[in-house]
Structure 1
């Protein structure tokens, strides 16, 4: 715990405290120290996977930031958060994304198509797993709020992060962490198999996450 206190505020995010909310800065700090990120999203592509155009379109229709300068700062901050994906020792990232998020259009057809292609590209990374939860999923856990489980500082700190309309919530108590871990495991169990763009995936006669993303790409965009 002493090392956590020493690390507090050290990093690129510390220079953004004047422009970004405390919760947003805390999220960037947790991600930078993360060993594992597990998230569920229902209407958006996870922020750590978002393209710049997609992110900008979201902030333009958001009440969180209103001026062009604030939008630019928010977009830049989110893009910088994504550096953890290409770090020397990146965290393992596992995202379950509801099919509804793949249909939501932010920035028009071109931006949405680019975002879906980026999602497939990132899913090819060895430390990234992407599963799609289809509309037809059976026995879905009663979870209607997106959340992210963050294991950081070599796993000694586990945090649940949830976004609400006006603020972000962080939970650290063991009971909440265990409950959301079970939620995530159930979501993984009913979601489609992960994106696999390898040569064998093309010939596999099974409905999987890649197939659904491609279907939406080629039939809608």
Structure 2
């Protein structure tokens, strides 16, 4: 696929969506914005869909036109401008669905991440054998080459929590996820030991919600909250049996921050969580 025909990345789409939000807050139509900016309604619409590269100067001009005085937000929007930035995930563009690449791109740019899981363990903390067992259990089944592509992609994603400047990761996991036993007792025990090891890192928090705690908001969803330099540009990835996608509107961000706050308030302390993980691992 020629570069000019590649679909916009999730950051390009988010930049366009934020410019549309600013225009709508200004109660201005795309036609009026185009006229005042010396361009066309279709060009404004293409910018807002992420389908047309936009320069930093144009973002500043549009922000001024829309009466936006939030300089930190404008600065971060200008950082999202320009052409497509290629990352390691682009080598999978013709192999894996676009939402997989979107996840890797968002994780790459996130300043911090908060994750909540009810049944599965966070992908960033999975061992290769655990992940392989999950991929083999999908219905309809993946073929062997697809499994290996998915596995290599998942392992490469984990680079964000390693290195000299790892991304802080805060996770809340239900006890059910610890006891699922994917891959059999040996694989499950090694996975829990890995989880214990990772929880000892200063930038990684693993907290467990034990059985008997009661309600678990959004228990049908895996939640990944990705923090940006300004809260308006945070993103949330949701993953269920019927939906995998991203939300970024302000009411949705507020809601999922509250959900995660609730879950963290319900969970055991990190020390108590390690004790529970150790006991579950010993029982495997």
Give the TM-score taking structure 2 as reference length.
Answer: 0.69
**CA pair 39-7 structure 1, distance change in 2 beyond 3 A:** farther
By how many angstroms is 1:90 displaced? 1.6
Q: Corresponding residue for 2:212?
A: 136
Q: For 2:146 and 2:195, how far apart are their aligned partners in 1?
A: 26
For the 8 Å contact 1:149–1:160, the answer to whether it is kept is yes
By how many angstroms is 1:34 displaced? 1.1
Q: For 1:128 and 1:111, how far apart are their aligned partners in 2?
A: 22
By how many angstroms is 1:9 displaced? 4.2
Q: For 1:64 and 1:93, how far apart are their aligned partners in 2?
A: 32
Of residues 20, 23, 33, the one that matches 2:96 is 20
Q: For 1:89 and 1:155, how far apart are their aligned partners in 2?
A: 21
**CA pair 13-65 structure 1, distance change in 2 beyond 3 A:** farther
**CA pair 7-134 structure 1, distance change in 2 beyond 3 A:** farther
| Segment drifting more, 11-20 vs 146-155 | 146-155
Of residues 67, 76, 97, the one that matches 2:152 is 76
Q: Corresponding residue for 2:78?
A: 2
**Runs of 4+ with >3 A deviation:** 5-9, 152-156
Give the TM-score taking structure 1 as reference length.
Answer: 0.88
Q: Rg larger in 1 or in 2?
A: 2
Q: Corresponding residue for 2:164?
A: 88
RMSD: 1.7
More helix by share: 2
Q: Corresponding residue for 2:281?
A: 217
More strand by share: 1
Say which structure, 1 or 2, has more relative contact order (CA 8 Å, 6+ apart). 1
By how many angstroms is 1:141 displaced? 4.5
Of residues 181, 184, 194, the one that matches 1:108 is 184
Q: Corresponding residue for 2:131?
A: 55
Q: Corresponding residue for 1:203?
A: none
For the 8 Å contact 2:232–2:250, the answer to whether it is kept is no
Which ranges in structure 1 are unaligned for 5 or more consecutive residues?
A: 197-207
